[in-house]
Amino acid sequence: MSHAAPARGTTGRSHPTSHHPALSRASIGWPLLLAVLYGCWGATMQRDAGPITWRNVLFGIGSGLVVGVLAFVLHKGMTPAIPREARAAVWAVFGGAIFGYLHSLSGASILRCVGLGLALGVAVFVSVFYRYYTKEPAPEGSQR
């Protein structure tokens, strides 16, 4: 009986179980993109169609840095050991809060800001939970 040989370029060893390398392009790239977009949007909302001032620019840089660092820390800190529901809930709270805050800069009522933040949070929860549920292996001892 013959056995299949390992494919060219492979050693036959198993790969590490970690899905998140120390610093990959995605782990730095998407928080950086989010920070830039959030900072630009925040500076524009705070400016309120007036002239561009240093205060607007500093607000955009500061808010972008805070959101980018929080997104990076959440992305790197949440391991697959944490239940999917909890990870999806954390991302939902994060997304809803940052969106609700930026919408509040437009001068809208607090109820509208909270409502839109909740709506976005629910959408983030559903999409992130779906991603975790379909792309990660099932935890030990559970059935799908």
Overall domain count for the chain: 1
Domain assignment of residue 11, yes or no: no
* Residue 31 tokens, joined: 């928080």
**Is residue 34 assigned to a domain?**
no
**Assigned domain for 15 exists:** no
Task: Report the predicted TM-score, pTM, of the whole model to 2 decimal places.
Answer: 0.75
> Per the domain annotation, does 46 fall within a domain?
no
| Lowest model confidence (mean pLDDT) among 1-5, 44-48, 64-68, 91-95 | 1-5
What per-residue confidence (pLDDT) applies to 71?
A: 93
Tokens of 119: 């709506």
Asked whether residue 60 is domain-assigned, the answer is: yes
Is 99:34 a contact under the CB 8 Å cutoff? no
- How do residues 25-64 score in pLDDT, each as one tens digit? 767 888 999 999 999 999 988 887 778 888 999 999 999 9
The boundaries of the domain holding residue 90 are: 54-132
